[in-house]
Amino acid sequence: MRKHIHRWLQADKLFKTLAAFATAVVTYLSLKPPSPNAKPWTLFFFRGDLVLHFSCYFGLTFLYFFAFYIHKRSVLKAFLSALLLGGFLETLQLIPFFQRFFDLSDLFANLFGGLCATLIIKGFFYYSVKE
């Protein structure tokens, strides 16, 4: 089974396309002006936007890992790519044009999502991670 998964993951064009699409979606959602009718929500005592940040960067780290699968240090590249994207988008929110606000807790949610994905990748793909 591992050989089949390994061969499937080597088809990097599919994953690079998915990663580019997911990056575009996250960029759009991070920079679009908030809805004036949006009501805040929580999940297990966490603000809803923090749950979304965690989920997005957890997923992005996985997609970037699959896109970089055939490269050396693919886990590190995936983590840093997701982290840099999150930092860049949060920094852009300082510009009043976007009508968004910089929030340090969003950066920590991004970081935690990327770290959790990295730990899971290292646990499940330990046999094929090229460091």
Contact criterion met (CB below 8 Å) for 115 and 62: no
What pLDDT does residue 97 have? 83
- Using CA atoms, how far residue 101 sits from 86, 92, 126, in Å, is 14, 9, 39
pTM of the predicted protein model: 0.84
Task: Report yes or no: 117 and 92 within 8 Å, Cβ to Cβ.
Answer: no
Q: Which residue, chain included where needed, has tokens 């997609």?
A: 63
pLDDT of residue 51: 87
Q: Tell me, what's the pLDDT at 112?
A: 95
Give the pLDDT of residue 99.
Answer: 83
Give the DSSP letter of residue 102: -
Q: Is the pLDDT of residue 37 over 80?
A: no
Q: What's residue 123's pLDDT?
A: 85
- Two tokens, residue 35: 């809805």
pLDDT tens digit sequence for 77-121: 999 999 999 999 999 988 888 788 888 989 999 999 999 999 998
What was the pLDDT predicted at 32? Answer: 85
Can you state the angle between helices 74-92 and 104-124, rounded to 10 degrees? 170
